[in-house]
């Protein structure tokens, strides 16, 4: 019985060891399946991350190109802005000059209006305008005479094509047509 008991104990020990080993094997198989599932899942995730990385890189390249394009446009716009600022400064200076000129002209206008509200000053101004009109007419007449003298010089230089003239009048006798008929014809007609 002792031997049987030993045998049984050994058999129970072996069964227990097999049971424990079987359980460990089952647990190890479960862990292996779980690990394999995790590996498959991680491979899927890796593939997904690689696709995402490719997509992100392509978007990054597109964004880089867009950035360079926008940077070029920004540089162009900045150049235009600086040119327009220069033009704006020039226009502001011109505006200030015109404002000063307007103020000066308004002051001059006030002085002239004050002057012309007096009858004596108005009469003087009318006389002055009449004198200026008369002087303009004289200058125009002198200019016309000077131009006419110039034209006459050119006409004289061209000549009169063989006609005798003095003071614009012809100095030669006009042509006379003389008809000569035989004497016998002329008597018969009478």
**Dihedral pair phi/psi, residue 165, rounded to 5°:** -135, 150
pLDDT in tens, 118-132: 778 778 888 999 999
**Nearest Cα to Cα of residue 114 among 125, 127, 101, 100:** 125
Helix (H, G, I), strand (E, B) or coil at 163: coil
* H or E stretch at 103: helix 2-116
Tell me the pLDDT tens digit for each residue of 149-158. 988 887 776 6
0.75 surpassed by pTM: no
Return the pLDDT at 175: 66
């Amino acid at each position: 019985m002792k031997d049987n008991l030993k045998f049984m104990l050994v058999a129970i020990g072996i069964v227990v060891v097999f049971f424990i080993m079987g359980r460990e094997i089952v647990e190890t198989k479960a862990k292996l399946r779980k690990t394999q599932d995790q590996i498959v899942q991680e491979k899927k995730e890796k593939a997904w991350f690689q696709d995402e990385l490719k997509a992100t890189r392509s978007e990054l390249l597109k964004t880089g190109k867009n950035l360079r394009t926008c940077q070029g446009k920004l540089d162009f716009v900045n150049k235009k802005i600086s040119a327009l600022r220069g033009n704006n400064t020039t226009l502001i200076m011109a505006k200030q000059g015109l404002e000063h000129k307007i103020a000066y002209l308004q002051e001059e206008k006030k002085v002239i209006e004050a002057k012309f509200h007096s009858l004596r000053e108005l009469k003087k101004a009318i006389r002055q305008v009449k004198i200026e009109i008369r002087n303009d007419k004289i200058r125009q007449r002198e200019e016309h005479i000077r131009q006419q003298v110039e034209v006459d010089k050119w006409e004289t230089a061209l000549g009169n094509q063989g006609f005798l003239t003095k003071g614009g009048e012809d100095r030669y006798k006009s042509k006379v047509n003389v008809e000569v008929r035989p004497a016998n014809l002329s008597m018969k007609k009478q």
